[in-house]
Amino acid sequence: MARLDIEIQTRKMLKPSAPTPDNLRRLKLSLFDQLDCTTYIPALFNYLPNSSTISYHDKLEKSLAETLTKFYPFAGRFGKGDPFSIDCNDEGLAEFLGKAPNNIESSLVDLLPIIDLQPSPSSPLLGVQVNVFNNGGITIGIHISHIVADAFTLATFVNEWAHTNLTGPQDNNYLPNFGQLSSLFPASVLQLPSFDPNTSTTTGTGPNYKNKTSKKKKIKDDSTTDHDMIRQPTKLVVVMSLIWKVLAHISSTKNGNSRDSIFGFVISFRGKFLCMPSLEHVLGTFSISEIANMEADELVGNRIGDTCAAIGKASKVEDISSLTLNNQTKIIDKLLQRDKIDVYGTTSWCKLPWYEADFGWGKPFWVNPVSFSIHELIILMDTKYGDGIQIIVTMKENDMTEFERDPHILSSTSKL
């Protein structure tokens, strides 16, 4: 893809419209924040041209500042001297206003705010870039640290910002509780196997890496085996199983022999930790990583079912902490064997209100997670009308060519 000719018109550090109360100035991290704190989540919200977008920027900026008073950790910084906290000091977020030509073939990465992805105490936790196209279309690009948000939290924040921009600030006492998880599952010094993802994970944004988005429009009966039917698979499980099957086939063709592989995915605790239903809508990061192992003949659906059953049976927070840490150790052990096995990762953004974020010029026509930094990562999310699943795939260019022409992919998907 050609790079966009972005003209940055303004750049500023935007602060919350009201100071954060003293009693909320230090946010302790939870166990789940701790395990995800070195990554950022990138997302683009794309809107069609509309007469309501005229003179939008001042209003967007004001509503964002007002929303930050509720989502106050987003304007903070990584804790100084305390690796297990966030200073909610209202330093602000990085905000950019850019103007770009109407070129849909250009790189989506250019629409994201520039943030140092190797965090330091001075790094903003949130960056927003508002891009205006010559035809009047708007793209809002967001980079947010996983230390303060997962996909659920990001979707909640964007919809709150959109609602505030659409209707004005609400006169209520609603204030998200960001400290609930850390009080139950505090971060601490962990005795986990040593693993440096920066050296063990292949990353890149150069010409040898490609990002593709396609839409799942039908489910073929041959995408699962009879063994997969031990548990009736959901649509999402069928898609994940199909992708793993295709990736394993590409690997065996490339290497001349079949290799063991693991398929990683993330399961949200929300709505599954039955002994504490109050955590169903909790903000922050609240999920567990899980893997299926091809050599052990494990199935995605069965692994998800077993883990969800274990979460449902948990009677105290210690059970959840132990399950999370045991899984983390198991996954790191496998990642340390990357020279012998293939490792694939996926995460689901399904069943979240991405397409409800109406800032006043209609709902987005396309929301894109922009998986660009880690190859062989797949992000799944519902299509705008819920009639399929978007598959956002990032992998090496040669592998992408094989992926795109695989008969299972061709028969089951259509490009957006």
Q: Give the amino acid at 329.
A: T
- Domain range list for the chain: 7-184, 204-415
Asked if 7-184 and 204-415 have one fold, the answer is yes
Q: Which residues pair with 288 in a beta bridge?
A: 267
144-145-147 Cα angle (round to 5): 140
Predicted confidence at residue 203, as pLDDT, reads 35
DSSP state of 71: S
Taking a C-beta distance cutoff of 8 angstroms, is the pair 110, 64 a contact? no
* pTM of this structure: 0.89
The tens digit of pLDDT for each residue in 326-341 reads: 999 999 999 899 889 9
Write out the H or E segment, with its range, that includes residue 160.
helix 151-167
**Alpha carbons 40 and 16: distance in angstroms, whole number:** 21
Kindly state the percentage of the chain with pLDDT values over 70: 81
Which CATH superfamily is 204-415 part of?
A: Chloramphenicol acetyltransferase-like domain (3.30.559.10)
**Alpha carbons 394 and 211: distance in angstroms, whole number:** 4
The tens digit of pLDDT for each residue in 57-90 reads: 788 999 999 999 999 999 999 877 788 899 999 9
**Alpha carbons 109 and 115: distance in angstroms, whole number:** 12
**Alpha carbons 356 and 364: distance in angstroms, whole number:** 8
Rg of the chain over Cα atoms, rounded to whole angstroms, equals 21
**Alpha carbons 26 and 406: distance in angstroms, whole number:** 51
Predicted confidence at residue 120, as pLDDT, reads 72
CA-based nearest residue to 333, from 258, 262, 243:
262
DSSP state of 288: E
Q: Give the amino acid at 59.
A: K
For residue 306, what are its two tokens? 């077993």
**Alpha carbons 33 and 384: distance in angstroms, whole number:** 29
The H-assigned helical ranges of 256-385 are 300-313, 317-335
**Alpha carbons 409 and 216: distance in angstroms, whole number:** 9
Taking a C-beta distance cutoff of 8 angstroms, is the pair 403, 206 a contact? no
Predicted confidence at residue 209, as pLDDT, reads 45
Predicted confidence at residue 218, as pLDDT, reads 44
CB under 8 Å to 232, separation ≥6 — which residues?
Answer: none
Taking a C-beta distance cutoff of 8 angstroms, is the pair 239, 389 a contact? yes
Instruction: Using 70 as the pLDDT threshold, list the residues of the chain that sit under it.
Output: 1-6, 37, 52-55, 98-107, 117-119, 171-175, 193-231, 371-376, 415-416
Candidate CATH numbers 3.30.559.10, 3.20.20.10, 3.60.21.10, 3.30.420.40; the one for domain 7-184: 3.30.559.10
